[in-house]
Structure 1
């Protein structure tokens, strides 16, 4: 499964930035060892249901430690029996665009 998630702490620094809290959450994903990619809006992570949901939960907990309220947006592509889709899905589209 691939999960795209975004965590939004309600507490920000003096400039309104939430980068430190988001970096802490992404650190949890990185430490998990699961394949992931980071973009400006979401973090995408791939693994089995229990692995991915445990990482999302831990990332929320890390942000909740510095913010009294946390927002979570989560979208999942659940396709049993398929691995490596984090990159394979993009490669399939790019091949079609090259034709």
Structure 2
């Protein structure tokens, strides 16, 4: 499965940036050893249900140290029996774009 998620603290001091909290969450994800990708809006992680959600729980706990509330947004692609989709989906998209451009 792939899960894209975003975690942010709230209830901290006014004007606080969330980058330290996000860094703590991303550190948990990277230390998990699961395939992952972080961009400007989300971190995506790939693995089995229990291992992915364990990492997300621990990342959420890490962010919780930075405020009195935590916001968590999730989007999941649950496709049993498939691995390598973190990069595979993008590779298939790029091939489709290239094919469409050659057809023009």
Global fold match (TM > 0.5): yes
- For 1:24 and 1:37, the matched residues in 2 are separated by 15
Aligned to 1:45: 45
User: Aligned pair count?
Assistant: 99
Aligned to 2:77: 77
Report the 3-state secondary structure (helix = DSSP H, G, I; strand = E; otherwise coil) of the residue aligned with 2:44. strand
Report the 3-state secondary structure (helix = DSSP H, G, I; strand = E; otherwise coil) of the residue aligned with 2:81. coil
Deviation at 1:66, TM superposition (A): 2.1
Deviation at 1:17, TM superposition (A): 1.4
- For 1:35 and 1:87, the matched residues in 2 are separated by 9
Which consecutive segments of 4 or more residues in structure 1 shift more than 2 A? 11-16
**Aligned CA-pair RMSD:** 1.3
The 5-angstrom pairing of residues 1-99 of structure 1 reads 1-11=1-11, 15-99=15-99
- For 1:55 and 1:64, the matched residues in 2 are separated by 14
Contact preservation (8 Å) 2:3, 2:77: yes
- Structure 2, unaligned runs of 5 or more: 100-104
Deviation at 1:14, TM superposition (A): 6.5
Report the 3-state secondary structure (helix = DSSP H, G, I; strand = E; otherwise coil) of the residue aligned with 1:72. strand
Question: TM-score, normalized by length of structure 1?
Answer: 0.95
- Structure 1, unaligned runs of 5 or more: none
